[in-house]
Structure formats: structure tokens, C-alpha cells
């Protein structure tokens, strides 16, 4: 039933066509405003992904084949790279949660002004270049670095600890870089938890500890989940820090992709690795959503 | 709801709490009888919420004593005080269903799953939300959320229930409806209720007694009717109900408005500051002829007549009291013989309605 029919019998609708064209003009304006962003995303994100992904389906001879993918699943080297990448990402995520959750909780309990100042300590490193921070860690962690020399002068250790150019160094550096990605969404979520809810739980008989686990913790889960996904996915594809602090002993996926191109000039193989990484990341997001069952929590 | 537990009296003595130099609780002493519905009424910042939070254990007083049923509770942590609480924001857990919210206090107390279910259902029935157990909090209206919060506060049959402005977020109509319902519910429950509000009408409607709180002190504690008819200070008279006032001179228990001595049956309370005559618009009587000798004569000239639906507000210019507000019903009886604007009007204030109060309590 058209609008005109709906009003039939009520006489003619005044200015109906003017109002209708006004409405059409308004929706066109909104479409026009969003177009630049949509086009930009299409050109700089989706087009390159599509193009690079398509490379993976061609072998060295330029023929269409699944050779590149077959190699990933057959080669023990590639398999190990995937396992190491996941192991490191999981460890980094777990450490970030263990450090970040108590930090955020503590921040939410501070008076607003002090919390704002303390947040600066989280944000300033966040705004500093990853490269700068990674080299700073190298200075701190190397054999004759500040940490080793102070520990030795204090007589706590006799020989320098092997802190850089290995897995330990990579993980220390990655945790430092990734922590803000966990803290920011988690802190935002925690701040929005109504203090009355925890008070209500305590007032109704929960011990402070019980109120935390039964009320505060479940309500902080959406933020924690967002932080975990960010840290984990970013860790999966992290390049700079593990490359520099790992000293070549730690080979994560991004480094493997880089060496496949710079050393072997094999764009097809590198592209296949990238596609697998992308699919794994998407699968992880989907899986985590299932495990955490967060659609329920997000529903307010 | 039937209950084995009996409501408890609350004895507060010399409770003090200061935030910096501001005294939120200034030596407050108050005895609340078992099963009483007591309202803490006051403007914002008066200390009424601080007092309630001190009862709940969320505010740690600087000193004083707080007894529930004779047992000292001042140092008991909030979760061991066994109170039912209703918050202004309802504080319902958004990730739980209605039934899970209501069963929360039972779960904490280790009640079996099946008992949790039946007791939660019974509590929901009591607040007329039977069958809503599986709904999400987000699916409920403000009034329904309020009822869930109530059900949760009483499901474990607490002997004391504290309520912090529980109706202030509701619209006027629903609020008035819930006031009547809460009052009825209190009569069914065997619990002492301490209720905080800044709405004087709500306090008058629901309470057994009202404690008027101002500047961290209890200005007056009385039954609604006595509080309205015999306020002890100008603050109480002004805060409760509608009134205008005029300064009077008091000497030897006699009050004078201008040259005229006021006739009053009510005792003149002593206190600090000058005395004032409090005139409630609905207590004035319009007289056809001269004002009788037994009453106080507040006659004047009609300055304005304002129609307000259920009543008509008449503003009268009096030579010594200034502008006096008179309220008459907008029905025919109220309108008969009412002079029009600019005319002289006879106004009688009877001795039993003549309220003379000091500025502040002693």
C-alpha cells in the first residue's frame, strides 16, 4: 500500500512530494558524506588484500595451482613457525592479562585525577614509536646492559643473564608493546561499571571478594575480551620487536613472510603464508567469541 | 511473606562523620522502633544519604554507636549486617535474568537451587512480577526494574531494609502508585524500613515517622501529621508542604504580627533566630463578612487569581504580612463568594492552624 493510499479519504496530503524529495536528498547527503571513507577503505585495504591473496594461487612458473598452500602444510619448518607464533602470542597475551587486569582494577579505584595522571604513564609509551621502544629494551636487556650490570654490581648474579637475542627478550618487549592494547579497552569497561552494583552485592551479603568475582569480574569481561583479542591478533602478526629482540633465534610468522620475500623472492609462498595468517586470525576471533559467549554480555 | 525472623529496632547514638571541614553527620542520635517505616527527609547535601550509608556500612563514621536489636554493629562489615538494600539506580545486575537477580542474596547464603527458585518466584509474585523470572533486566521498564530491586532486597527476609531514594527515577504517576504499593508491602513484611528521600510528599505518604535532616543533624522527628501541623523550626515548616511566612515578634509567649497579637493554640517552639508566622495556603478560610473574633484576621486585597486545575491560587496583599497565598478548591463550593481581582477579601487563620516557629531549632 502506497502512502497516498494509506491516507485515502483524508483528502490530499499537503506538500507530500516536497517532503518526499527532501527525505531523498537527506539520505543522499549521508551517503555522499560516507563515500570518501568507503572508497578509501576499498582502495587501501580490500584491494591490496585481494591482490596479494590472489598471488598465492600462482606457482613460480606463473600457473594457477595450490602448490604454495601444499608446501605450508608439508614443510616441518613452516609448521614449526606456526606453532612458535601461536605459543609466543598466547604467552604474551596471558602475561598481559596477568599484569593488565590488576593494573586496571587498581586504576579504577583511584580518584579520577590520580587515575588520569597514571593513565599518562600507560599512554606515553603507547604514543612512542615501536622501534624506539624496542631498541630501548635492547639497551636495557643486552649482556652488558643496565639490568645485567646493576644485578652484577649488587652481587645478585655472577654472570650476565641472557635476556636479549632470545625468546625471553622477545616476550619482554612484546608484552611491553602490547600492554596498552589490553589496558585501554579493559579500563574503559571497568570505569563504566556502576559502583552501586558492587555495593549492592556486598549489601545483599556477598563478601567483598565474592562481589568482585560474581559481579565486577563478569561485567569487566567484554573489555577483557576486547583486549585479549587485540593483543593476541596483533601478536600473531608482530614483526619489529621479535625480529630485533629475538636476534634471529625466534622466527615468528611475519619474519618468515619477510624472509620468504627478501631472501627467496617467492611472492606466491609469502602470500600464501599471509592468507593463512589472516584466516587463522579470523578463526581465532570467531572461536573466542564462542568460548567467551560474549554476545550475551554485550547485550545491555 | 511469612517470616520467622522478627524486625529489629535500630539505635543510633552520637554518630559523627566529617568530610574535611564539612560535618556530614553531626552527633546524630536516633531510635527507630522494630517494624517502623522511618523516612530520612532532607535537601541534597543534608547528610541523609551519608546516614543511610553509615547504617549499611559503606560509610565509616568517625565515631558513635549503631545497634541493630541491641547488638553493636558499628564495626561490622556491610556484608555481615544482614540488610536488604534498594538503591536509587536499582543496581540490578545486567548480565543476570530477573530471577537470578532476585535469587542472588539466597545464592550467597547457600540456599539450595530449588529453594532459590521457589523463594525468588514468591518474592516476584509479591511485587506483582510473577512470570517475569526469565526476562532480561534490559527488557523491563523503570517501574518493573524498581519492583525487581524490591524483590531482591526482601527475598531473604531481612529484618532491616534500607532504601535510598528508590522512586526518584520514576515519573510522577508511577511514583505515586509505587508509594502506595511500598506502604502496603511494608505492612505485609516484618521488617524495619529506613527510607531516604528529598520528596516531602513521598515522606508524608509513606512514613510512620519522618526525620527531617539538615546540615548533618536531625532537625525534627515526628509522625507525618504532627510534623506538618507542628513544625519545630522554620526550616521544617518551609521544607514540608507549601507555605509563606512573615516575621513576628515574640515576647512572653505572645507573638505579634505588626500591631496585632496572634492567637495560637500551638506552643511556640524556642530556638535560634527570630520567629516567623507560617501560613499554609489551604489552612486559610475565606469569610463572607468580618473575620470572627476567635480567629486571626489576615484580610487583604486580591492581587491575582491563578487557575491551577485542581485548585485556584489566590494572591492576597496584606498590610503587615506582605503577599499571602490562599488556595481554594476549583469546585463550585470553593469558588462561591470568591472576590475578583482588586477587591477586598476576608481571611481567617484559626488558632489551631497558627504556626509560629523560630528560624532554627535550639
- pLDDT tens-place string over residues B191-222: 999 999 999 999 999 999 999 999 999 999 99
Instruction: Check residue B100 and give its pLDDT.
Output: 94
Size of interface A-B (CB pairs under 8 A): 64
Average pLDDT over residues B33-57: 94
Instruction: Check residue A10 and give its pLDDT.
Output: 61
Instruction: Check residue B208 and give its pLDDT.
Output: 95
Percent of chain A with pLDDT over 70: 93
Q: H or E element: which one contains A212?
A: none
Is the CB of B91 less than 8 angstroms away from the CB of A296? Answer: no
Average pLDDT over residues B58-63: 93
Residue B154 contacts residue B3 (beta carbons within 8 Å): no
Residue B310 contacts residue B245 (beta carbons within 8 Å): no
Thinking of the domain B241-361, which architecture would CATH place it in?
Answer: Beta Barrel (2.40)
How close A191 gets to chain B, by Cα (Å)? Answer: 15
Chain B residues closer than 8 Å to A200 by CB = 85, 87, 91, 93
Three-state secondary structure readout of chain B = CCCCCCCCCEEEEEEEEEECCEEEEEEEEEEECCCCEEEEECCCCCCHHHHHHHHHCCCCCCEEEEEECCEECCCCCHHHCCEEEECCCCCCCCCCEHHHHHHHHHHHCCCCHHHHHHHHHHHHHHCCCCCCCCCEHHHCCHHHHHHHHHHHHHCCCCCEEEEECCCCCCCHHHHHHHHHHHHHHHHHCCCEEEEEECCHHHHHHHCCEEEEEECCEEEEEECHHHHHHCCCCHHHHHHCCCCEEEEEEEECCEEEECCEEECCCCCCCCEEEEEEEEECCCCCEEECCCCCCCCEECCEEEEEEEECCCEEEEEEEECCCEEEEEEEECCHHHHCCCCCCCCEEEEEECHHHCEEEEEEEC
Instruction: Indicate the average pLDDT of chain A.
Output: 87
- Residue A231 CA to residue A225 CA, distance in Å, equals 10
| Per-residue confidence band for A62, with pLDDT thresholds at 50, 70 and 90 | confident
Percent of chain B with pLDDT over 70: 99
DSSP state of A13: P
Residue B337 has pLDDT above 80, yes or no: no
Is the CB of B79 less than 8 angstroms away from the CB of A202? Answer: yes
Nearest by CB: B93 against A197, A199, A205:
A197
Residue A97 has pLDDT above 90, yes or no: yes
Instruction: Note the helical H segments in A240-266.
Output: 240-245, 253-262
Residue B40 has pLDDT above 60, yes or no: yes
Chain B from 88 to 147: CB within 8 A of any A CB: 88-89, 91, 93-95, 104-105, 108-109, 136, 138
On whether any CB of chain B is under 8 Å from the CB of A300, the answer is: yes
Instruction: Indicate the average pLDDT of chain B.
Output: 89
Instruction: Check residue B4 and give its pLDDT.
Output: 46
Mutate to test the interface with B, among A196, A202, A204 (most CBs of B within 10 A): A204
Strand partners, B214: B217
pLDDT digits (tens, 9 = 90+) for B103-121: 999 999 999 999 999 999 9
- Which of A285-294, B155-164, B239-248 is least confident? A285-294
Residue B5 contacts residue B159 (beta carbons within 8 Å): yes
- Residue B128 CA to residue A50 CA, distance in Å, equals 59
Chain B residues closer than 8 Å to A111 by CB = none
Nearest by CB: B91 against A197, A206, A297:
A197
Chain A from 226 to 285: CB within 8 A of any B CB: none
Instruction: Provide CATH code, domain B10-228.
Output: 3.40.50.300
Chain B from 144 to 163: CB within 8 A of any A CB: 152-153, 156, 162
| Per-residue confidence band for B49, with pLDDT thresholds at 50, 70 and 90 | very high
Average pLDDT over residues A176-191: 93
Chain B residues closer than 8 Å to A218 by CB = 95
Residue A64 has pLDDT above 80, yes or no: yes
Instruction: Check residue A299 and give its pLDDT.
Output: 47
Residue B81 has pLDDT above 80, yes or no: yes
- Residue A78 CA to residue A259 CA, distance in Å, equals 12
Percent of chain A with pLDDT over 90: 40
On whether any CB of chain B is under 8 Å from the CB of A195, the answer is: no
Is the CB of B136 less than 8 angstroms away from the CB of A207? Answer: no
* Structural domain spans, chain B: 10-228, 241-361
Mutate to test the interface with B, among A197, A199, A203 (most CBs of B within 10 A): A203
Amino acid at each position: 500500500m502506497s502512502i497516498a493510499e494509506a491516507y485515502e479519504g483524508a483528502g490530499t496530503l499537503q506538500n507530500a512530494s516536497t517532503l518526499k524529495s527532501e527525505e531523498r536528498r537527506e539520505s543522499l547527503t549521508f551517503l555522499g558524506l560516507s563515500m570518501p571513507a568507503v572508497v578509501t577503505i576499498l582502495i587501501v585495504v580490500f584491494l591490496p588484500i585481494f591482490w596479494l591473496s590472489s598471488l598465492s594461487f600462482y606457482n613460480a612458473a606463473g600457473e594457477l595451482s595450490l602448490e604454495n598452500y601444499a608446501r605450508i602444510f608439508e614443510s616441518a619448518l613452516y609448521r614449526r613457525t606456526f606453532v612458535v607464533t601461536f605459543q609466543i602470542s598466547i604467552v604474551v597475551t596471558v602475561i598481559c592479562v596477568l599484569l593488565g587486569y590488576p593494573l586496571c582494577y587498581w586504576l579504577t579505584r583511584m580518584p579520577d585525577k590520580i587515575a588520569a595522571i597514571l593513565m599518562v604513564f600507560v599512554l606515553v609509551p603507547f604514543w612512542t614509536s615501536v622501534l624506539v621502544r624496542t631498541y630501548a629494551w635492547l639497551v636495557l636487556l643486552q649482556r652488558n646492559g643496565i639490568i645485567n650490570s646493576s644485578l652484577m654490581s649488587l652481587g645478585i648474579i655472577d654472570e650476565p643473564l641472557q635476556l636479549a637475542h632470545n625468546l625471553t627478550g622477545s616476550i619482554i618487549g612484546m608484552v611491553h608493546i602490547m600492554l596498552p592494547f589490553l589496558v585501554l579497552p579493559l579500563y574503559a569497561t571497568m570505569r563504566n561499571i556502576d559502583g552501586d552494583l558492587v555495593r549492592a552485592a556486598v549489601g545483599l551479603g556477598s563478601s567483598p571478594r565474592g562481589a568482585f568475582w560474581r559481579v565486577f569480574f563478569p561485567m569487566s569481561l567484554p573489555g577483557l575480551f576486547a583486549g585479549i583479542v587485540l593483543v593476541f591478533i596483533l601478536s600473531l602478526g608482530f614483526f619489529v620487536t621479535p625480529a630485533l629482540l629475538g636476534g634471529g633465534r625466534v622466527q615468528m610468522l611475519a619474519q618468515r613472510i619477510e624472509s620468504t620475500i627478501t631472501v627467496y623472492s617467492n611472492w606466491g609462498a609469502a602470500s600464501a603464508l599471509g592468507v593463512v595468517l589472516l584466516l587463522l586470525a579470523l578463526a581465532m576471533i570467531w572461536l573466542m567469541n564462542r568460548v567467551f559467549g560474549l554476545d550475551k554480555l554485550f547485550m545491555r | 511473606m511469612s517470616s520467622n525472623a522478627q524486625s529489629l529496632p535500630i539505635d543510633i547514638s552520637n554518630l559523627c562523620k566529617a568530610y574535611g571541614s564539612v560535618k556530614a553527620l553531626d552527633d546524630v542520635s536516633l531510635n527507630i522502633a522494630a517494624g517502623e517505616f522511618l523516612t530520612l527527609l532532607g535537601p541534597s547535601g543534608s547528610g541523609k544519604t551519608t546516614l543511610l550509608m553509615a547504617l549499611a556500612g559503606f560509610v565509616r563514621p568517625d565515631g558513635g554507636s549503631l545497634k541493630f536489636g541491641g547488638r553493636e554493629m558499628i564495626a561490622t562489615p556491610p556484608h555481615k549486617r544482614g540488610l536488604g538494600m534498594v538503591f536509587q539506580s536499582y543496581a540490578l545486575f545486567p548480565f543476570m535474568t530477573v530471577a537470578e537477580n532476585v535469587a542472588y542474596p539466597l545464592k550467597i547464603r547457600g540456599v539450595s537451587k530449588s529453594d532459590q527458585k521457589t523463594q525468588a518466584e514468591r518474592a516476584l509474585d509479591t511485587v506483582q512480577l510473577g512470570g517475569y523470572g526469565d526476562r532480561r533486566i534490559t527488557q523491563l521498564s523503570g517501574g518493573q526494574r524498581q519492583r525487581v530491586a524490591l524483590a531482591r532486597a526482601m527475598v531473604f527476609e531481612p529484618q532491616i531494609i534500607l532504601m535510598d531514594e528508590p522512586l526518584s527515577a520514576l515519573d510522577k504517576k508511577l511514583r505515586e502508585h509505587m508509594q502506595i504499593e511500598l506502604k502496603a508491602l511494608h505492612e505485609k513484611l516484618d521488617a524495619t524500613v529506613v527510607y531516604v528521600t528529598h520528596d516531602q510528599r513521598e515522606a508524608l505518604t509513606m512514613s510512620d515517622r519522618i526525620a527531617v535532616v539538615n546540615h548533618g543533624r536531625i532537625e525534627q522527628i515526628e509522625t507525618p501529621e504532627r510534623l506538618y501541623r507542628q513544625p519545630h523550626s522554620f526550616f521544617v515548616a518551609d521544607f514540608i508542604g507549601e507555605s509563606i511566612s512573615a516575621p513576628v515578634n515574640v515576647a512572653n509567649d505572645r507573638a505579634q504580627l505588626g500591631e496585632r497579637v496572634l492567637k495560637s493554640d500551638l506552643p511556640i517552639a524556642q530556638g535560634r533566630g527570630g520567629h516567623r508566622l507560617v501560613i499554609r495556603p489551604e489552612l486559610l478560610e475565606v469569610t463572607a463578612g468580618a473575620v470572627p473574633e476567635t480567629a486571626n484576621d489576615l484580610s487583604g486585597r486580591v492581587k491575582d487569581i491563578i487557575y491551577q486545575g485542581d485548585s485556584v491560587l489566590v494572591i492576597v496583599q496584606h498590610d503587615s504580612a506582605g503577599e499571602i497565598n490562599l488556595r481554594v478548591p476549583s469546585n463550585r463550593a470553593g469558588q462561591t463568594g470568591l472576590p475578583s481581582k482588586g477587591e477586598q477579601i476576608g481571611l481567617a487563620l484559626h488558632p489551631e492552624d497558627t504556626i509560629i516557629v523560630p528560624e532554627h531549632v535550639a
